[in-house]
Every structure is written in C-alpha cells, then in structure tokens.
Chains A and B, each alone.
Chain A
Amino acid sequence: MQVARETTGGVAPPAAASQTGARRVRTLIGATPGERAVTALGLVTGVCMLVTIWAILVAAPVDVVQGMPFRIFYFHVPVAWVTFLAFFIVFVASVAYLWRRDERWDWMARAAAEVGTIFTTVTLITGSLWGRTIWGTWWTWDPRLTTTLILWFIYVGYLMLRSYTGRTASGARTAAVLGIVGFVDVPIDYLSVTWWRSLHPPTTYVQSGLPASAAGTLMFSLFTFTLLFSLLLVLAYQLQRVQTGAEKLRGQAEG
C-alpha cells in the first residue's frame, strides 16, 4: 500500500526523529477528511486487488475446453466494463459542462478520459491474448474488437486535443463536443461493423452459463476494478484541479 500512502501526503515524510507519532500518522494517511477518504479507498482497493488476483489465479473454476487461458476472462470482462463506464462518465461530464459551464465537470471529463484510455488499452491487450488462445489469432475484425479499437483512437485523439488546446474555455468546450460526439459514435460504429462483417462466418463466443463460483469471482472482480477505477479517477481529478489552480495562480502572479 506504499503507493496509496504516497498519494495523500503532500510533502515527502522523512522519518525525522523530532516527528511525533501523531504527526507521522497524519502525513501517512492525510490531514483532511478528503485525503483520509482517498487513503481508505486506496487501502480497500489494494486488499480487494490481492483477493481478486488470488481468486482469478487459484479459486475460480476453469473452462473445460479452454483450460487455463479462460482465467483471462475474469480479468478482461471487468476491465472492459470499466472502459465503458469511463467513457460514459466523459459523456455525462461533457454534457454537464456545456450545460452548467462549471470547471469541475471539465476536470471530471478529462480525468475520466485519461483513466478510460488506460483501461481501453488494457482491454485491447487482454482481449488480444484471449483471442490468441480461442481463435488462434491475435487480432480479428470482430465487431467488439473493432469498435473498441475505434474507441481507443477517439479518446487518444481527445487527449491530444486537450494537450493542444491548453486550459482554455474554448478548449474545454471543444473537448466536451468531442466527448459527446465520440460517445454517440460508438453504437453507430458497432452497428456498421456488425453489418460489414455479416457476410463472414460469425465469431463464436462462450455462451454457456457460468457456474456459481465463476460468477462469484467475476462479480468480485467487477467490484474490485470499479474500485480501482474510482481511485484512479479521484487521483486524476485532483491532479486536474491542482494543476489548474497552480496555473491560475501563476497567471495572477505574473499578470
């Protein structure tokens, strides 16, 4: 849990002898209730993470046909779910920003886009690994894979747009429009790719019902990854807030 602790302490805590026990605790878990909440979230996420890794690797039952590679499934599906959640948040925050013009929605959209892009990358990698074991090929132009790839391109473009515009109101509005249009584009993409592929043999998916222990592992994994996502989102949001605050203050000092 070293990482979770580090995130909350504003100053690096050198174990100075003069530091009292209470101060040391404060620098470790955070001084304000908000910082302590983040620390707690980090701790819970870390514990859940370890349990999930154990469950995926040891406890969960393995598909008879697919064998060990089926364990990717418990990892891949939650990550894909988090990806969708992230871009839904980008969409909602973008709409809210254009409606309310509150900077905080803009930070939220930007944070969710950044974390979502990371998770989309993981989705693509794990999906590709799974495809290698099931279909015997790293990549196939299956509708879900193709749509996820296009989604990845859209949101990498979103992050590029943000880095090119800087923290201006017009940049925020432009990014919000891209966040909305990009999200609306996803189902259309899926639809068109499905029809495009309709002439080719359909890809077979694992459609059999899951046994209870497998469903339990999947559910717990979903929960854990949602926790991890919220932790990352909170940190990315704070980063946006602090960076914007510093930039504004610098502008005041110079101007």
Chain B
Amino acid sequence: MSDTNMTRMTTRVNTTEISPPGVGGDGALGTASAFARQVMAIVAKDLRSELRTKQTWSAMALFALLVLVVFNFAFDLRVENTAAVAPGVLWVAFVFASILGLGRTVAAEHDQGPLDRLLLCPVNRTVVYFAKLIGNVLFIGVVEVVAVPIFAIIYNVPVALGGLVPVVVLGTIGVAAVGTLFAAMAANTRARELLLPVLIFPLLVPVVIAAVRATSALIVPVARDAPWVGLLAAFDVIFLSISAVAFEYVVED
C-alpha cells in the first residue's frame, strides 16, 4: 500500500474518538500511526479468538496436507517429473486451504455478528480490509510453515529456503488480497461457501501462474525465464489497491 493512498483513506476516520489526545488527528504521520494502531487492534482481536478455538488453523493445515498426499497418488510421482509437478501441487494445496480459511473467517464474522459490529465502530472500511487481510495472511502463513517442510520431505524436493520465502510471502499476499475482498462479497449472498471458490479461482489465475513458475525456477533454474517474482509483486500491488478501494462498496450498510 502506498503512503498517499493510506492518508487519503484515513482522512474520513474520526480520529478524535478513537485515538488518545495528542497522538492522532494532526498531520499525515499521526493519521498513519492511528491507521496502523486500528488495524493491529482488529488483527489482535481476530488472533485471540482464533487462538482460543484453533478450529480454522487446524482444519486448513490438515486439508493442505491431505491435498499434498492425494496429489502424490494422483500423479504417481517419480524423480523425473517431480520438478514439473511439485510446485503446482504445492500452490494448489495453498490456494485450496486458503479458500477454506477465507470462507470460515468471514462466515464466522457473519454468524456471530462481529463484522456488523466492527462496521458500526468509527473505523474506516479500509482499516477493516487491511486488518482482515493481515489476519488471513497470518492464517495462511501458519499453514504454509507446517506444509512446506512436509512437502519437501514427501515430494523429495530440495527446497531452497532462502529463495522460497519471498515467493511464498508474495503469493500468499496475492491470494489473501483477492480472497479477503471476495470472501466479503460471497458473504453478501445466500450460498457463500458455494460461490467463493467459483468467483475466486478465475481471478487468482495470474497469481497462481506466477507463484508456480517462480517456485519451479527455484527447483530447476530456467534460462531466460520471465521475472516471475517481480511479476508476482506487481500483481500483488494491483490486486491490493483495487481490493482496498472496492472493499468499501462491498461492506456498505
């Protein structure tokens, strides 16, 4: 997110009500720090409630592992085709698990009502978006931390950790940026669990292609390959900015 974007978004926040006197309300720096503080407060609230139950995390991680195992049977992996198939399997597992988690988080918000209550607070919608986004990135990140070592073992792939970290982080941000917006969109409908994957997969195609390509370039380096990590970062910026602006319209009322 850019600085100018953030200041424009936060101008509508009623800073006097939510920030202690003397901290927010004057100048871009105060507004930015107020923005960060509000985002962090919501993230902390979500994390606390998830840490109590651990429902979402355990289901997502288990599902990701299951996808890894099932694809292992489905493709009958051998040494010569592992490099071609394994990155795709890894990202399909991540995206599937993400959708499971995304559906759950927003559904939980709607069933128990905190999203509505959250929107009653004098907090900008963009704050809510970024808080939900960070929460989702953390949720998916935990799953990835569990899944990557197991992936490396059962697919017998020499995972270069240093190189994989930026790819996974950027890919996760891309998935979560679109996913957070679409989870809120699907929550507006009667059949949100049904609709979320249908809506989200076509839009995630660029992110998935770039992430898979970047990952396979780590396993088997390709000469004259497109700059996939850079592209992934560019897609992230595009999807993040569109989603941050669009979120406001989705959760209106």
Contacts and interface: CB of A to CB of B under 8 A. Distances in A.
A193 B235 CA distance: 13
Interface string B150-170: 000000000000000000000
A192 B185 contact: no
Interface in A139-156: 150, 153-154
B246 A177 contact: yes
A98 interface: yes
A79 interface: no
Contacts of A181: 178, 181, 203, 242-243, 246
A85 B64 CA distance: 40
Most buried by A among B190, B198, B206: B206
Given A184-B238, A188-B206, A199-B222, A177 B250 contact: yes
Contacts of A48: none
Interface string B166-195: 000000000000100100010011110001
B199 A170 contact: no
A245 interface: no
Interface string B123-135: 0000000000000
Contacts of B202: 150, 153-154, 157, 182, 185
A178 interface: yes
A193 B209 contact: yes
A192 B199 contact: no
Contacts of B209: 192-193, 195-196
B249 A98 contact: yes
Interface string A187-222: 011011101101100000000000000000000000
Given A154-B203, A164-B191, A170-B252, A184 B242 contact: yes
A176 interface: yes
Contacts of B250: 173-174, 177
B26 interface: no
B252 A188 contact: no
Contacts of A9: none
A198 B226 contact: yes
Contacts of A177: 181, 185, 246, 249-250
Given A176-B249, A180-B246, A196-B213, A164 B195 contact: yes
A157 B206 contact: no
Interface residues of B, number: 32
Interface in B228-245: 228, 231, 235, 238, 242-243
B84 to A, nearest CB: 12
A75 B189 CA distance: 38
Contacts of B146: none
Given A154-B203, A177-B249, A196-B213, A188 B235 contact: yes
A98 B242 CA distance: 14
A165 interface: yes
Pick the most buried of A157, A192, A193: most chain B CB atoms within 10 A of its CB.
A192
B185 A174 contact: yes
Interface string B45-71: 000000000000000000000000000
A161 B205 contact: no
A171 interface: yes
A160 interface: yes
A177 B203 CA distance: 13
B191 A173 contact: no
A169 B209 CA distance: 35
B253 interface: yes
B210 interface: yes
A192 B203 contact: no
Contacts of B242: 180-181, 184
A97 to B, nearest CB: 10
B195 A185 contact: no
B201 interface: yes
B142 to A, nearest CB: 27
A171 B238 CA distance: 24
Contact of B199 (A169, A173, A178): A178
Contacts of B195: 157, 160-161, 164
Give 8 closest A-B pairs by Cβ, nearest first: A192-B206, A195-B226, A153-B202, A164-B189, A177-B246, A157-B199, A154-B202, A192-B209
Given A181-B181, A195-B226, 15 more contacts: A150-B205, A154-B202, A161-B189, A164-B189, A164-B191, A165-B189, A170-B188, A170-B253, A173-B250, A176-B249, A177-B185, A184-B242, A198-B226, A199-B222, A199-B225
9 contacts: A150-B202, A154-B203, A157-B202, A165-B188, A169-B253, A174-B250, A176-B249, A181-B203, A181-B243
